Amino acid sequence: MHASRKLDMTTGPIMRLVVMFALPICIGNILQQLYNTVDTLIIGNFCGSVSLAAVGTSAQPVEFLLCIFLGLGTGVSILVSQYTGSHDIENVKNVTYTATAFLYLCAVPLSILGIFLGPFMLRLMQVPDDTWNYAVDYLRIIFLGSLGNMGYNMNAGILRGIGDSQASLLFLLISCLVNIALDLLFVAGFGMDVAGAALATSIAMFASWFFSVIYIKRKYPELEFSLLPRRLDRAMLAAIISVGLPLGLNNSIYSVGHILLQSLINAQGSIFMAACSVATKITGMANVAISSFSSAATTFSGQNLGAQNYVRLKQGALRIPLFSGAVTLCGGIIFLSCSSFLLRFFTRDTQVLELANLYIRVVLPSMWMYAVFNGIIFYINGIGVVRYPTIVNIVMLWFVRIPSAHLISKYISGIYLMASFPISFAFGMVAMLAYFLTRRWRQILTLAKEAI
């Protein structure tokens, strides 16, 4: 592999490698938050609170319909990291060939399904009448860009699997610049409202996907990568599905829960919807480290499992998630202290600002627990464990978060339903820490002891 880009996670200081791997992804996440935030800023300033509400509520159907494929993309990344750790270049190539073919088999049906099923899902979510047309327009245009979105995520996962996290930063920089320019053109210039913002996002994702293909072809010629599919290996596809499908189903179950929670939010009206939409932009900026350290955890554990380096598997298991939690806690403190100032960039509506501040004060201080929870999940996903985190996710969402949100809405007030998040984060963190008491983990500890 290309030595200047690829990080070998099987040797060297663990946290230095993890930080080196996570930092470009973290910067990339900041860029991604930036162009998501630009959508909200431009819509909030040039359109209004109803348009803000439409963009915020449309994210859940998109997440639900794409999440199974994105889980399969994570499966691809896990397999690539394991084959990279064992220096099996032929199987790395085989995974990429199969993943590219599978991308095209999934993208068109998912786009069609999203265009026609999306409005039905919005009805189930009780989207208010004043927000309906805007939400449908946004949703349908976003689904037209599904191939670009899925292609980018697949290629970024392949690169993370081989240890190249810098590439994601380049891809997102391109996407961010294209999105900002087109947002200003379509929304501020042409007055296209939320449809313009959706079109800008879709075009930006296609630009990022095309660039990722060019990057892989030039930087990793040994992979013989191509834009169009070459072949689909059934055995490798079965391996991708066996690892990725449980992750995708886990994501889909989670997304259904998000849709139910969004319906509770929608029931409070467009002002509360708009407040949650802008508040999540602040919490998203405060939590950019979570997914980057989680990706690093998956690559680290996958490569070391492939290399049969059980000592390092043991050493990184708690270090990486706890470090992610510490970084997230620091970010939360910083953004909590200046949230009122930042929110005023999105809207001047005093009701929206008051509710958005409430959301941030309730949710942000607890996000460090989610960082630890998520870091452990991704770490054990990297060694092929998917059943335990799936069960924990189901219990956390369906038996903790959703019931607590309903109880809070019914017996206290709907504007405090976001308190269900810190309750579920605490449960999830404790449950994932309990994984280290299981038989499977004790086997790894035994192998690590024997290797010393």
Give the distance, in angstroms, between the CA of residue 214 and the centroid of all CA atoms in the same chain: 24
Give the pLDDT of residue 3. Answer: 45
Q: Is residue 5 part of a domain?
A: no
- Which burial class, exposed, middle or buried, applies to 426 when counting CB atoms under 10 A from its CB (0-12, 13-18, 19+)? middle
Domain count, the chain: 1
Q: Is residue 4 part of a domain?
A: no
Q: Is residue 6 part of a domain?
A: no
Question: Residue 404 pLDDT > 80, yes or no?
Answer: yes
pTM of this prediction? 0.74
Kindly state the percentage of the chain with pLDDT values over 70: 97
Question: Residue 375 pLDDT > 90, yes or no?
Answer: yes
Contact 425, 367 (CB under 8 A): yes
In this prediction, residue 35 has a pLDDT band, given cuts at 50, 70 and 90, of: low
Helical packing angle, 146-161 and 193-219, nearest 10°: 40
Q: Is residue 8 part of a domain?
A: no
Q: Is residue 60 part of a domain?
A: yes
Angstrom distance (rounded) from CA 247 to CA 228? 26
Range of the domain at 142: 14-451
Give the distance, in angstroms, between the CA of residue 129 and the centroid of all CA atoms in the same chain: 30
Give the pLDDT of residue 5. Answer: 59
Mean pLDDT of 107-119: 86
Q: Is residue 2 part of a domain?
A: no
In this prediction, residue 269 has a pLDDT band, given cuts at 50, 70 and 90, of: confident
Q: Is residue 7 part of a domain?
A: no
Q: Is residue 233 part of a domain?
A: yes
Least confident range from 162-171, 311-320, 373-382: namely 162-171
List CB contacts of 28: < 8 A, sequence separation 6 or more: 168, 169, 171, 172, 173, 292
Q: What angle do CA 93, 247, 226 make, to 5 degrees?
A: 25
